[in-house]
Structure 1
Amino acid sequence: MAKILNVRNLEKSYSSGSKRLKVLQDIHFEVEEQKTFAIVGPSGSGKTTLLGLCAGLDSPDTGSIELCGSELSELGEDERALLRNKHIGFVFQDFQLLPTLTALENVAVPLELQGDKNASKISKDLLEKVGLGDRIHHYPSQLSGGEQQRVAVARAFSNRPSILFADEPTGNLDAETGEKVEALLFELNKEAGTTLVIVTHDIELAHKTQHILRLKGGRIVENQEKQV
């Protein structure tokens, strides 16, 4: 199966006072199309930094990232934004919904950026699929945390992404609500044939994926493909 994400010799550091703090070093891995993939590790291990680099939201100090057939270092900022809008979906721990837009409008944003004339209908169908057909005109402040995350999941799938990056998608939810959102994420992912990359500290969630990459101190300590 083709590789949708290929990471080679990745290193990243940040300035901390007068020192350089190395966050990631010697990172190599690849993700196949339509696979589910988890990045795990303790706080401060570099998980979220790695996710941001893979999605083209930040640039590494050294190394290469090939995403959806494009070498990210060769793309300008506008080209990266275009790649993200066309091929990538995101789900964040803190939902990141636009407070002044309704659930329907939030889901429609990626489609409208692409000029899709069916944005409203597709968004309504997705919201019904995640169980929010009766909440489409509600604003984020009128929704519970679990409902907001379901809107975020619907939005992530609205542009039919090739790959979806989820950063601690259940981190702000109680256990029961988190399980429902997890089930939804995997169900929609399978249905859409999307590649799913999840950053999580939840080992149970990680074990539901087909591949686990474990980080510690900015290095890979385990890179394991598994049968689900």
Structure 2
Amino acid sequence: MARILNVNNLEKSYSSGSKQLKVLQDISFNVEERETFAIVGPSGSGKTTLLGLCAGLDRPDSGEISLCGTNINLLNEDQRAVLRNKKVGFVFQDFQLLQTLTALENVSVPLELQGEKHASVTARDLLEKVGLGDRLHHYPSQLSGGEQQRVAVARAFSNRPDILFADEPTGNLDAITGEKVEQLLFDLNKELGTTLVIVTHDIELAQKTRKILRLKGGKIVSKDISAS
């Protein structure tokens, strides 16, 4: 199976006053197509920074990242944005829905902006898949946290991404609702063949993925094959 994400010798620092704060050191790993992959570690271990680098939202100080067969180090901002729009989906902890749009519009508008002719039909189908067929015309304020995250999941899969990055996707949800959203991510991963990369502090969620990368203090402490 082909690699969809390849990370080699990644380093990242940020300025903190007069000091340089090393956030990631010598990070190397790869993710296969259609795989489920978790990045875990305590707060401050560099998980979210690593996710942003892998998705081309930020640039490393050194090291290489190949995403969907493209060395993103060589791309400018606009080229990376095009790659993300075509190949990448995102789910965030805080949903990031537009409050003035309905559930249907939150999923269909990004598709319309990309020139999708049947955006509304695609959005409706996805919202039905995530169990929100009767909530199409509700605004985010009229939806529960779990329902908002399901809208966000539908939006993330709307462009049929090759890879989906989920940053603490159940972090703002209660345990039961969180489990439903988790199952949704794994079901869509199987159904649509999308590679799933999850950043989480939840070990139980991580153990549902095929591979687990553990970070501590910006360094890899282990790479595990999950028993699940």
Aligned residues: 228
- The question of whether the paired residues in 1 share the 8 Å contact of 2:168 and 2:201 is answered with yes
Q: Per the alignment, in what secondary structure is the counterpart of residue 48 of structure 1?
A: helix
Distance in 1 (CA, whole Å) between partners of 2:80 and 2:108 is: 20
1:226 & 1:207 partners in 2: Cα distance? 6
Residue type at the aligned position of 1:182: E
Matches of 2:21 and 2:101, distance apart in 1: 39
Between stretches 95-104 and 196-205, larger displacement belongs to 95-104
SS of the residue aligned with 2:173? Answer: coil
Match of residue 142 from structure 1? 142
Query: For each residue in 1:111-142, what CA deviation from the matched residue of structure 2 results, as whole angstroms up to 9, or x when unmatched?
Result: 11220111000100110111111111111111
Aligned counterparts of 1:46 and 1:76: Cα–Cα separation in 2: 24
More divergent stretch after superposition (61-70 vs 110-119) = 110-119
Return 5+ residue gaps in structure 2 as ranges: none
| Structure 1: unaligned runs, 5 residues or longer | none
Residue 117 in structure 1 maps to residue 132 in structure 2: no
Q: Which moved more, 1:217-226 or 1:27-36?
A: 217-226
C-alpha separation between the residues in 2 aligned to 1:177 and 1:143?
A: 13
1:46-65 equivalence runs, <5 A: 46-65=46-65
> Is 1:34–1:194's contact at 8 Å kept on the other side of the alignment?
yes
- CA deviations on 1:185-205 (whole Å, 9 max, x unpaired) are 101111000000000000000
Alignment partners' CA distance in 2, 1:102 and 1:226: 38
- Which residue of the partner structure matches residue 42 of structure 2? 42
1:164 and 2:175 aligned: no
CA distance in 2, matches of 1:59, 1:224: 26
| Paired residues of 1:85 and 1:110 also in contact (CA < 8 A) | no
Greater Cα offset, 11-20 or 104-113: 104-113
Provide the rounded CA distance (Å) in 2 between the counterparts of 1:192 and 1:109: 21
Describe the SS at the equivalent of 1:147.
helix
Number of the residue aligned with 2:128: 128
Query: Where do 1:53-202 residues align within 5 Å?
Result: 53-202=53-202
1:32 positional shift: 0.4
Alignment partners' CA distance in 1, 2:38 and 2:110? 25
Q: Post-superposition shift, 1:27? A: 0.1
Deviation, 1:13, is: 0.5
Contact persistence 2:208–2:226 (CA under 8 A) = no
Look up the equivalent residue of 1:171 and give its one-letter code.
G
**Shift in Å, 1:83:** 0.4
Who is 2:211 aligned against? 211
Secondary structure in 2 aligned to 1:100? coil
* Alignment correspondent of 1:32: 32
Letter in 2 for 1:101: L
Question: Structure 2: how far apart are the matches of 1:159 and 1:147?
Answer: 20
Measured against aligned partners, the alpha-carbon deviations of 1:1-55 in whole angstroms (never above 9, x if no partner) come to 1000000010001011110100000000000000000000000000000000000
Provide the rounded CA distance (Å) in 2 between the counterparts of 1:187 and 1:29.
25
Q: Is the 8 A contact 1:14 1:20 kept in 2?
A: yes
SS of 1:199's partner is strand
User: Matched residues in 1 for 2:26 and 2:112: separation?
Assistant: 39
Query: How far apart are residue 225 of structure 1 and its match?
Result: 2.1
What's the offset of the Cα at 1:227?
4.2
One-letter identity of the residue aligned with 1:83? L
For 2:31 and 2:111, how far apart are their aligned partners in 1?
26
